[in-house]
Amino acid sequence: MEKSGKLFVFFIVLAVIGIIFITRLFFLQIVDTSNYYKALAYGSNEVTIYPARGTIVDRYGKLLVYNDAVYDLMAVPQKIKNINKEKLCKVLQIDTNDLNGRIKKASRYNTREASIIYKSLPFHIYSQLQEIIYDYPAFFIETKIDRRYNINGAAHLLGYMGEVTERQLQNEKYYKPGDIKGMSGMEKSYELYLRGKKGKKIVLVDKFSKQQGSFAGGKFDSLPIAGQNLIAAIDLNLQEFGEQLMKNKFGSIVAIEPSTGEVLSIVNSPNYDPNLMVGQTRNKNFSALLLDPRKPLFNRALKAPYPPGSTFKTVQALIGQQEGVLFPDTKYPCHGGYHMGSLTVGCHPHASPLDLEHSIQQSCNAYYCYVYRSILDNPKYKSVQDAYLKWTQYLNSFGIGVKTEIDLPEESPGIVKKTQYFERVFGKNWRSSNVISLSIGQGEIGLTPLQMANVASVIANRGYYYIPHVVKAIGDEKTLPDIYKVKHKALINPIYFDSVIAGMARVCKPGGTAGRTGIEGITICAKTGTAQNPHGAHHSIFIAFAPRINPKIAIAVVVENGGYGADYAAPIANLMIERYLETDKTVTTRKDMLDRMLNANLVGSTVYDLPKPDSTLRKTLLPLTPKP
């Protein structure tokens, strides 16, 4: 037997290889930590768990907005191979070309990431799809939430949801393509509270992105945090009543609780059913609403400045007193109007002369021409321009000509012109007579219905207002942002309100401009307005608050082309006040007036069909539990 030293060589080789391998292992596993982090990234998929969005209830706790689960069919285009398209198409009820188109569209966006193939699967399709989805590994169903509205109005107030846009995706990192967020109304302005916080679950995936279980025992997972529920200031009953009253009329109602600034109702007409803005038919409905000639998407209450007409006299009377040019017993004559040179501002026949209180009751145009002239031509100021500037400051303190900062998006500041505007129109040395129509709220002035209601609120509070807000409380702690707890003082001494309110209290009583619209048992302080409209019949306008002592509601009503303020706006406002103040919500002392308002049709004979909500939507409350 030959001995050989070569065994030793073999051992050396084994040892060397052992050293090489262990060194390499040390480098890969201990020194180079990048592999560890790559492993985290490669082997896992972050799955978003959508939280339940906060619900919205009205001021008495009645449910307005809630959630329902919707199911999107998602697919990773890269992985769609050798599938039975016919079977899938049959279940989805689309043809093969449509499906191919959807897949192509998805792959154009990203072939490796899941995209939506079929949005908001109707429930019957969803249940059928559940049975066959396992044959289609590239496809899966993602559960998202969709909104359901328990009311078929108040759409402008509640708002609607929509898919985040390209731009929003860039600006806000929270959102991912396909996410939905509030696009208007409370849904938009309280998005941060309502949306909650998305949870994430890191799941291990194989190379086919098939889920293999949770990563690191769920150490890096986070549960979704449900959105905060909102208590809206709105009174659902009052809102629905207002919408009934405004049916077949164009216009708006805004009701505010003066002592808090809470918005009790915001009625826009025409309105639309917020349930149109969800589900399969959302986009179709949206474009139908957008193209509707009556502009149902337009939020008149916040965005349409109307000339306030005679309702503006209340403001003028207050500014005049504060400026020291008007006293409660100041009397001005009126003989069919205000005459100055060639200028005439007409007025209806009434007793003359009138004092301040009765000028409000009778809505004398001439009286306020004198008042406004005395304000602008006040010798205290160097020029009319300075006086006008001071006047606009008063207006701004009422929330006129500036945004009220209500907690709803897209608000118009209304119209209050700057002196420069009049310089352009009338020359550098324009005079008070140039702008005399402003005295009675006509001409270069515009208030949104919200601003009008806010003016009523200021008068009701005798000199201050809270920023109108549609939210009463946020979340379980029932908090309210501090900005809504701050008194905004109008630049008017409270003592000057006495005669104005006394005048307003006479308006809905016999002898007042809306004498036939009063409600028995309620002292309504109001002011009618009839805004001349170059495009057609006058706008019927009315501001009011009630009761006189310790006011509970301040309201503004605008009925476009409704004629005199007393014709439509006053009855509607007073019915609203009655409905809000009386405990019994079913009866009215003014059945005649109610019927007249409900039956009135100012829209004309043209019949438009508003789109109807998707009938396949399940209007049931489902507990929204994220799928594991």
Partner 1 sequence: MNYYNKASEENIRIDWLTVILYILIVGFGAMNIYSANSTIDHTFIFDLTMEYGKQFMWIGVAAVIVFLILLLDPKFFNFSGYGIYAVVIAMLLVLLATGAYNKGAQAWFKIGSFKLQPSEFAKYATALALAKFLGTFDVKFAGKKNIAICFGIILLPMILTLAQNDTGSALVFASFFLVLYREGLSGWYLVIGLYLAALFVFTILFPSLYLIGVILILCGVVAYFYKKYRQMLWLSIIVFFASAIFILSVDFIFAKVLQPHQQQRILVTLNQDVAEYYPRKAKEFSLFKIDMNRKDKKASKRDYSYNVRQSKISIGAGQWLGNGFNNGTQTKAKLVPEQHTDFIFCTVGEEYGFVGSSIFVLLYLLFIGRLYYMAERQKNVFARVYGYSTASVIFFHFFVNVGMALGVLPVIGIPLPFMSYGGSSLFSFSMMLFTFLKLDANRVNEISSVY
Q: Quick check: 201 binds partner 1 (CB under 8 A)?
A: no
Q: Among 169, 204, 288, 624, which residue sits at the site for partner 1 (rule: CB under 8 A)? A: 204
Cα(343)–Cα(365) distance, integer angstroms: 13
Q: Name the one range near partner 1 by CB under 8 A: 179-187, 213-221, 295-303, 580-588.
A: 213-221
Find the Cα–Cα–Cα–Cα dihedral 378, 380, 384, 388, rounded to 10°.
Answer: -90
Cα(282)–Cα(147) distance, integer angstroms: 12
Residue nearer to partner 1 on the CB measure, 204 or 402: 204
CB of 140 to partner 1, least distance (A): 15
CB of 44 to partner 1, least distance (A): 7
Q: Among 84, 110, 130, 212, which residue sits at the site for partner 1 (rule: CB under 8 A)? A: 212
Residue nearer to partner 1 on the CB measure, 39 or 225: 39
CB of 189 to partner 1, least distance (A): 43
Q: Among 215, 306, 398, 568, which residue sits at the site for partner 1 (rule: CB under 8 A)? A: 215
Cα(307)–Cα(314) distance, integer angstroms: 14
Q: Quick check: 36 binds partner 1 (CB under 8 A)?
A: yes
Three-state SS string across 372-419, please?
HHHHHCCCCCCCHHHHHHHHHHHHHHCCCCCCCCCCCCCCCCCEECCH
Q: Name the one range near partner 1 by CB under 8 A: 95-103, 187-195, 206-214, 605-613.
A: 206-214
Q: Quick check: 22 binds partner 1 (CB under 8 A)?
A: yes
Could you tell me which residues are beta bridge partners of residue 369?
none
* All residues at 6 or more sequence positions from 173 whose CB lies less than 8 Å from its CB, including other chains: none
On whether the CB atoms of residues 404 and 468 are closer than 8 A, the answer is yes
**What DSSP character marks residue 589?**
S
CB of 4 to partner 1, least distance (A): 7
Residue nearer to partner 1 on the CB measure, 36 or 608: 36
Q: Quick check: 6 binds partner 1 (CB under 8 A)?
A: yes
Cα(580)–Cα(574) distance, integer angstroms: 10
147 φ, ψ to 5°? Answer: -90, 145
CB of 114 to partner 1, least distance (A): 17
Residue nearer to partner 1 on the CB measure, 32 or 410: 32
AA letter at 29: Q
Residue nearer to partner 1 on the CB measure, 216 or 351: 216
Could you tell me which residues are beta bridge partners of residue 347?
none
Q: Is 27 exposed, middle or buried (0-12, 13-18, 19+ CB in 10 A)?
A: exposed
Q: Quick check: 12 binds partner 1 (CB under 8 A)?
A: no
Residue nearer to partner 1 on the CB measure, 28 or 343: 28
CB of 16 to partner 1, least distance (A): 10
**What DSSP character marks residue 324?**
T
Q: Among 96, 98, 216, 223, which residue sits at the site for partner 1 (rule: CB under 8 A)? A: 216
- List the one residue out of 294, 292, 286 whose CA is nearest residue 268: 294
Q: Name the one range near partner 1 by CB under 8 A: 201-209, 291-299, 436-444, 472-480.
A: 201-209
Per-residue contact string for residues 140-159; x = within reach of partner 1 by CB under 8 A:
--------------------
Residue nearer to partner 1 on the CB measure, 216 or 290: 216
**What DSSP character marks residue 467?**
P
Three-state SS string across 225-271, please?
ECCCCEEECCCHHHHHHHHHHCCCCCEEEEEEECCCCEEEEEEEECC
On whether the CB atoms of residues 79 and 112 are closer than 8 A, the answer is no
CB of 120 to partner 1, least distance (A): 29
**What DSSP character marks residue 135?**
G
Q: Tokens standing for 129?
A: 């799809």
Could you tell me which residues are beta bridge partners of residue 489?
464
Residue nearer to partner 1 on the CB measure, 219 or 428: 219
**What DSSP character marks residue 220?**
T
Cα(568)–Cα(542) distance, integer angstroms: 9
Q: Quick check: 25 binds partner 1 (CB under 8 A)?
A: yes
Q: Name the one range near partner 1 by CB under 8 A: 36-44, 47-55, 235-243, 290-298.
A: 36-44
Q: Quick check: 327 binds partner 1 (CB under 8 A)?
A: no
Q: Tokens standing for 351?
A: 């007793």
Q: Name the one range near partner 1 by CB under 8 A: 30-38, 161-169, 191-199, 369-377.
A: 30-38
Residue nearer to partner 1 on the CB measure, 6 or 382: 6
Window 39 to 68, contacts with partner 1 (CB under 8 A): 39-40, 42-44
Cα(144)–Cα(201) distance, integer angstroms: 15
Q: Specify the residue for token string 């439509």.
A: 568
Residue nearer to partner 1 on the CB measure, 207 or 428: 207
**How many chain residues touch partner 1 (CB under 8 A)?**
39
Residue nearer to partner 1 on the CB measure, 45 or 523: 45
Q: Name the one range near partner 1 by CB under 8 A: 11-19, 253-261, 562-570, 615-623.
A: 11-19
Q: Tokens standing for 301?
A: 């209450």
Residue nearer to partner 1 on the CB measure, 22 or 192: 22
Q: Quick check: 591 binds partner 1 (CB under 8 A)?
A: no
Q: Tokens standing for 302?
A: 């916040």
**What DSSP character marks residue 55?**
P
Q: What is the CA radius of gyration of the chain?
A: 33
Q: Quick check: 4 binds partner 1 (CB under 8 A)?
A: yes
Q: Quick check: 207 binds partner 1 (CB under 8 A)?
A: yes
Residue nearer to partner 1 on the CB measure, 94 or 204: 204
Cα(257)–Cα(277) distance, integer angstroms: 30
Per CB under 8 A, residues contacting partner 1 are 1, 4, 6-7, 9-11, 14-15, 17-18, 20-22, 24-26, 28-30, 32-36, 38-40, 42-44, 204-207, 212-213, 215-216
